[in-house]
Structure 1
Amino acid sequence: SQYILNLIKNIYFSYYNVLCTVPDDRVSSRRNLDIPEALDTLERCYRLLASARPIRTPLSASSNKSTPPHVLGRFLKRQVFDLIKYRITKLDHNLFDVIWPAVKKLPDNRNVVQIVEEDFPGGVTAPDYYVYEVFTEFMTPLIKDLHNININSDFPQHPISDFKKNSLLSESSQPLVEINIDSGDDFVLTGTMECSRNLSGFELPLNLKIGKLEFVERIITTVLMRDDFARIIEQLSPESDQKGGSYYTLNEILEKPSEICAALAATGVLISLCEREEIDDCNRLHGKQWPYGRGVFVSDDKTVAVWINVHDHLRVVTSTPADAPGEIGLTFSKLSCIMTYLHEKLDFVFDEKLGHLSSRPTFLGAGIRFSLIVNFPGLSKDIDNIKHLCAVRGLQYRETLSPDIARISNYQCLSITESNCFNDFVTATSNLLHLEKDVSMQNSAHITTMLSNIFRRKRSSLADIHDIEKFQAKTN
């Protein structure tokens, strides 16, 4: 009967996993998941993802038409699922702890939904570093897809961070670079840049107890409150009167009302936060100790925020100037100076293939994310077209409450340096804004038809880029 066949299959895979557990295994718990309720939950999750899997053309993460269930369903096939569903990491995390952002029914609360979507856009999370190896049959091809890397090729070695290489240089050899991709302030509304890192010798914040959380907090804040860091902050904004910054605990940020929280929101460096009562499974999102042992260092002008122990040990967020939201050159220069200093003072966990490890698989490698809120009055008239354009240029397109306004950000930060990642982002966004300007100024049926022909072709980024460049040359 089918019941007996399933039983034999489960016994086989259980035995297989036991055989795969070797004495020098330092990443798994060296035991199998044998809780019936947990296995039943995983089976329901698999059926949900399998039902979301596209029947014909599989959707990659960068298609801008896919949802997290689409992406995960593409890689969590039955053979892979049966192989890894019994595994547990050395910190007792199973497969559900990895895929819950894509399968969990979230409360009808926009704050919670926004947190999950922004921090885990691929629908997966890493509750500990070991999931990347314990569930490698699933995680490796998924990570490649999330970062626009050919899933059939081997992972190259991740290059040494530019921030680490810059630490060998003098401060005078790192001039600020001015690049404004929207000098007329016509389309870009706001911009932010984030870089995340985790300290060597510590588990991710999700798994740390109070003592270790406070220890990590103390290590980082000691560096941030030093006089030489204050001088760096002062030099980055010489026109202001700032002399450094202040540190606030997360309790101070979450209290209502909170002046500092409002100030961070106004300058764009407030990250999405979630209070315990907003989600019934907050431990899975933040750990048992939330919000203790967490906080944020804020520069005096409120344009730099260094978040501590929120998903990752360290998250540096900078924003573009309010009077020049397209000035991403100076913003990246500011981020680079700060990260170069932190690389000199702190030791960060690093994997030769995955680069700087993160609790968020989309932040592996360089651990960097560039985001712009852009008004597209012309291109947004055909959402499918602009999504396709973003996809072939390596940009993630996320709609906002307004149909004309979207958040665009980079996909890839793995197997690439921070500066190369930034240069690719500058090229892609500049091209996008140039097209928007052409459409807005000329507004001709000929332009609309040509754009449609370019965008609707089968995905081939090189061919599309050549056609777009020819089109721009004709319209200039």
Structure 2
Amino acid sequence: MIICKRLLYLIQSDTSKMCTIAPRGKSSKMNLEMEFEKLQTSNSKSLLKKYLTPEIFHKLKDQKTQMGSTLMDCIQSGLVNHDSGVGIYAADADAYTTFADLFDPIIDDYHKGFSKNKVHPAKDFGDYKKLGNLDPEGKYIKSTRVRCGRSIQGYPFNPRMTVEHYKEIEDEVSKTLTSLEGEFKGCYYPLTGMAKQVQEQLINDHFLFKEGDRFLQAANACRFWPTGRGIYFNNDKTFLIWCNEEDHLRIISMQQGGDLGDVYRRLVTGVNEIEKKITFSHDNRLGFLTFCPTNLGTTIRASVHIKVPKLASEQQKLYNVADKYNLQVRGTTGEHTDAVDGIYDISNKRRLGLTEFQAVKEMYDGITEIIKIEKDL
């Protein structure tokens, strides 16, 4: 494992555990059927409850993927958390095919009309020069970020990963990333042995993934923590890679202010360099395959931290614009958090059925409209 010398003094020998290890879901018919009945009689509004009908349940409950993943592996988070919005994760790439009768309608619903007969377009990053600075005066946008997820071909996803899988992926990723040059040159920092205060500082700086997400815990995405997890960032801290957080890789470009064009340029260039060295899971119909079906296709999430205090007091207007431009509004520190001082994390919602450039352009157009409304209030 390669660790930059300038951070050696921040590393300590004891291991900090950032999330509780979730027990592996029991996959016996009796337990699965009991949990299914609880979901059916609950007040859950999840897509899992909506589409996991008794007919589909009985059709799929005994099926397994080529890697041995079961229905329980995919739906255990939604069975535990009835307040989930979606409630299902893919345990491996093949799960999208084996359990297509459940995944397809959920994907269609979430991605607004991507039926099982539709095919995701070929990768097209477009021209970053057509995306300018959303807030040249610096009055509204605090920071801009564009990220994408990638899964390494041949490996299962979290519920079926062994401790050896996590170590192998981390080793391959760290060696690949530390070979990058130019503006991408940086260091990889494993969580194993990292001091707790360093983890907390990186989280507070919005560099490192947060601990203890109960939805991921219930999906068995936190086992063997912190083994195999880590973060890479370049010397300018504008290009980051998360290793084995939710997906095998989360590739992130970010900087202060609203220059979306420059942030997107950096992401595209970095992704193209990494794809020369690592082969990722890809499907001809669904695009790039990820742990969560909400991130399929382009896997692109372009977001801003934006301060709109007037719209914060008239939230319905904010959510009306979000619906119009297919945007997702989150709290200041991400999903399942509140907005602080009128600062929201707003991003494109659609990732499937459109190109990478189109996904980012939806966010660009929506944020442009939000700033206009904030100015006029």
TM-score range, shorter chain: 0.7 to 0.9
Q: Over residues 175-220 of structure 1, what are the superposed CA-to-partner deviations in whole Å (9 max), with x where a residue is unaligned?
A: 8776211222222233322111112222224433333332222222
Q: 1:409 to 1:102 in 2, by over 3 A?
A: farther
Q: In the alignment, residue 155 of structure 1 is paired with which amino acid?
A: K
2:76 is the counterpart of 1:123: no
1:433 and 1:416 map into 2 onto residues whose CA distance is: 25
Query: What's the counterpart of residue 46 of structure 1?
Result: 40
Instruction: Select which of 231, 237, 240 maps to 2:182.
Output: 231
Query: What's the counterpart of residue 53 of structure 2?
Result: 77
Instruction: Select which of 89, 96, 102 maps to 1:132.
Output: 96
Q: CA deviation at 1:100?
A: 3.5
- Number of residue-to-residue matches in the alignment: 345
Q: CA deviation at 1:351?
A: 0.3
2:322 is the counterpart of 1:390: yes
1:178 and 1:135 map into 2 onto residues whose CA distance is: 38
2:161 is the counterpart of 1:208: yes
Q: 1:147 to 1:161 in 2, by over 3 A?
A: same
Query: Are 1:250 and 1:294, in contact at CA under 8 Å, matched by a contact in 2?
Result: yes
Alignment of 1:445-460 (within 5 A): none
Q: CA deviation at 1:82?
A: 3.8
Q: CA deviation at 1:355?
A: 0.6
Query: What's the counterpart of residue 245 of structure 2?
Result: 310
Query: What's the counterpart of residue 367 of structure 2?
Result: 429
1:232 and 1:344 map into 2 onto residues whose CA distance is: 17
Q: 1:47 to 1:88 in 2, by over 3 A?
A: farther
Query: Are 1:197 and 1:348, in contact at CA under 8 Å, matched by a contact in 2?
Result: yes
SS in 1 for 2:39: helix
Q: Over residues 400-444 of structure 1, what are the superposed CA-to-partner deviations in whole Å (9 max), with x where a residue is unaligned?
A: 2437332211111112221121122211221222122122xxxxx
Q: CA deviation at 1:332?
A: 0.8
Q: 1:388 to 1:411 in 2, by over 3 A?
A: same
2:283 and 2:216 map into 1 onto residues whose CA distance is: 30
Query: Are 1:129 and 1:358, in contact at CA under 8 Å, matched by a contact in 2?
Result: yes
Query: What's the counterpart of residue 196 of structure 1?
Result: 149
Q: 1:45 to 1:93 in 2, by over 3 A?
A: farther
SS in 2 for 1:200: coil
Query: What's the counterpart of residue 197 of structure 2?
Result: 257
Query: What's the counterpart of residue 189 of structure 2?
Result: 248
Q: CA deviation at 1:84?
A: 2.9
Instruction: Select which of 315, 319, 323 maps to 2:254.
Output: 319
2:340 is the counterpart of 1:364: no
Query: Are 1:191 and 1:372, in contact at CA under 8 Å, matched by a contact in 2?
Result: yes
Query: Are 1:394 and 1:410, in contact at CA under 8 Å, matched by a contact in 2?
Result: yes
1:225 and 1:47 map into 2 onto residues whose CA distance is: 51
1:375 and 1:181 map into 2 onto residues whose CA distance is: 13
1:343 and 1:39 map into 2 onto residues whose CA distance is: 42
2:121 is the counterpart of 1:154: no
2:255 and 2:113 map into 1 onto residues whose CA distance is: 29
SS in 2 for 1:214: helix
2:239 and 2:85 map into 1 onto residues whose CA distance is: 24
Instruction: Select which of 375, 399, 402 maps to 2:307.
Output: 375
Name the structure, 1 or 2, with higher relative contact order (CA <8 Å, separation 6+). 2
Q: Identity across aligned pairs (percent)?
A: 23
2:144 and 2:70 map into 1 onto residues whose CA distance is: 36
Query: What's the counterpart of residue 22 of structure 2?
Result: none
SS in 2 for 1:162: coil
Query: Are 2:158 and 2:220, in contact at CA under 8 Å, matched by a contact in 1?
Result: no
2:258 is the counterpart of 1:296: no
Which consecutive unaligned segments of at least 5 residues does structure 2 have? 1-26, 332-337
SS in 1 for 2:252: strand
SS in 2 for 1:346: coil
Query: What's the counterpart of residue 285 of structure 1?
Result: 220
1:161 and 1:307 map into 2 onto residues whose CA distance is: 22
Query: Are 2:300 and 2:360, in contact at CA under 8 Å, matched by a contact in 1?
Result: no
Instruction: Select which of 248, 263, 269 maps to 1:331.
Output: 263
SS in 2 for 1:312: coil
Query: What's the counterpart of residue 15 of structure 1?
Result: none
Q: Which of these two proteins has the greater Rg computed from alpha carbons?
A: 1
TM-score, length of structure 2 as denominator length: 0.81
Query: What's the counterpart of residue 348 of structure 1?
Result: 280
Q: Over residues 34-57 of structure 1, what are the superposed CA-to-partner deviations in whole Å (9 max), with x where a residue is unaligned?
A: 531222122212222xx34xxxxx
